Structure formats: C-alpha cells, structure tokens
Copies of this chain bind each other. A is one copy, B any other.
C-alpha cells in the first residue's frame, strides 16, 4: 500500500533579497536526490519567502521597537501580556506578535510576514512548474501558537494549486450515511506534518510531500478559505 511521504530538502544556502526561491528549490531537490512529480506538494517557510521579498527591516533590539513593529503590522490587538501581543494582522491572521521573526535573523534586523502569502505561493508555483514541467501544489508555512493547547504548530499562510479546506460534507461514511460537517483543514495539516521533518533538519526551509489525496488539488487561497470572518467567530 502506498504511504504518504515527507522529505526535508537538504543543501539550501542562505536566502537573500531578490533570490529566486524556485532556483533554490530546484537546487535543493537535486542535492536531496529527489525528482519532483505531478501531484507533489512543496512547502516553503514564510521566513525565506519574506527574505526573498525584502521584508527584512531594521530592529534595534529594544522592547519599544518590538512593540512599534508589532503595531505597524497589526489591524488590532486582541490581548496583551507584557510585550506579548496577540493581534490580528493586516492579512487577518490572529497570531502572536504579528508573526514577526526576531530570532535567527541578521544582526539588528527583524523579518516581517510576506505581504500576500497566497500570491507568494502562486509565484513560487509558477516558477517551479515552468522550470520542471510538473504540476504541483505549494504551501507557504509559519509557526503559530494555539489558544487552549500548549505548543506551537506550523500552519499554512498561503497556498497555490490546492484547496486548503477540503469539503467532505455530503459524502458518505463507511456505513453509507451522509457525513456531518467535515471541512478538513488539509493545508494546515500538511504544514504541521512537514514541521515533523523540518525539526530534525534545522535550517531547511523546504519540504516535499508525496501521496496527498488528488481531491486536494485545485483552486484555493488561505485568505479566502481559511481566515475566518469576524462575524463567524465566537472568540473575537
């Protein structure tokens, strides 16, 4: 029986502004001795997307500057405890400190989230598909906390070529009955799954996922299909 398989890609160098992520992915696939196939999904951490898109900004290391950056990237603040801010970003993501990365960055800099992660994913997908002549999905990932459970997990900030929420409503279960609400957040499940292999290979921003249900492929975006509208939200 065929398994779902996930590989962390090796041999990725430092990513700088205007670097082509598609070039870096193609190179890392070769180093990893992996050949991209139709129906594969590539994941890319938002950190390298931001770096390649020039979303690195000066940061003087002070709490004041940290809070200034958080507020600049936020639509509103939901909760605050010390310098920890749970905010709604301009994209509509609800996360800690507007997703700004202050660790593992160049001296005196911070890395902001990509302006439009769905667009970033579409660009990477287009570039990779042109280079390699295959049809794949792309997910831009980041690490978020959860409200009521300890620990962080990776989630999808942007997607291309896949439906991030798979609607199984109306399909039947094993006994032939119609299933209740089962809109499955497959893009987030893939992002979290990939984090299980990235953890072992600190520093690699790319992973390859093979064996995903073909029903996942199609048109979709995180901004349209995953970000919950405030009106549907019981906790905002």
Residues of A within 8 A of B (CB): 1, 3-8, 10, 32-34, 79, 81, 86, 93-94, 102-104, 143, 146-155, 164-166, 168, 171-175, 177, 179-186, 188-190, 192-193, 195-197, 199-200, 202-203, 210-213, 225-228, 233-236
A205 to B72, CA, bound (A): 46
Question: Which B residues touch A146, using CB under 8 A?
Answer: 146, 185, 188
B180 touches A202 (CB 8 A): no
B81 touches A1 (CB 8 A): no
A235 to B95, CA, bound (A): 13
Distance (whole angstroms) from the CB of A104 to the closest CB of chain B = 5
Q: Among the listed B94, B173, B179, B197, which residue makes an inter-chain contact with A148, where contact means beta carbons less than 8 Å apart? A: B94
B199 touches A193 (CB 8 A): no
Q: Among the listed B79, B148, B196, B200, which residue makes an inter-chain contact with A193, where contact means beta carbons less than 8 Å apart? A: B196
Question: Which B residues touch A154, using CB under 8 A?
Answer: 189
A193 to B8, CA, bound (A): 15
Question: Which B residues touch A10, using CB under 8 A?
Answer: 1
B148 touches A233 (CB 8 A): yes
B197 touches A234 (CB 8 A): no
Given the known interface contacts A103-B177, A177-B104, the answer about A189 and B183 at a Cβ–Cβ threshold of 8 Å is no
Distance (whole angstroms) from the CB of A217 to the closest CB of chain B = 13
Q: Among the listed B165, B174, B193, which residue makes an inter-chain contact with A202, where contact means beta carbons less than 8 Å apart? A: B174
Given the known interface contacts A33-B1, A234-B79, the answer about A148 and B189 at a Cβ–Cβ threshold of 8 Å is no
Distance (whole angstroms) from the CB of A183 to the closest CB of chain B = 5
A152 to B180, CA, bound (A): 12
A122 to B208, CA, bound (A): 33
A213 touches B193 (CB 8 A): no
A78 to B164, CA, bound (A): 28
Given the known interface contacts A33-B1, A196-B212, A197-B4, the answer about A185 and B234 at a Cβ–Cβ threshold of 8 Å is no
Q: Among the listed B175, B184, B188, B233, which residue makes an inter-chain contact with A199, where contact means beta carbons less than 8 Å apart? A: B184
Closest 4 CB pairs of A and B: A174-B203, A151-B185, A193-B193, A189-B192
Question: Which B residues touch A6, using CB under 8 A?
Answer: 3-5, 193
Question: Which B residues touch A196, using CB under 8 A?
Answer: 4, 186, 189-190, 193, 212-213
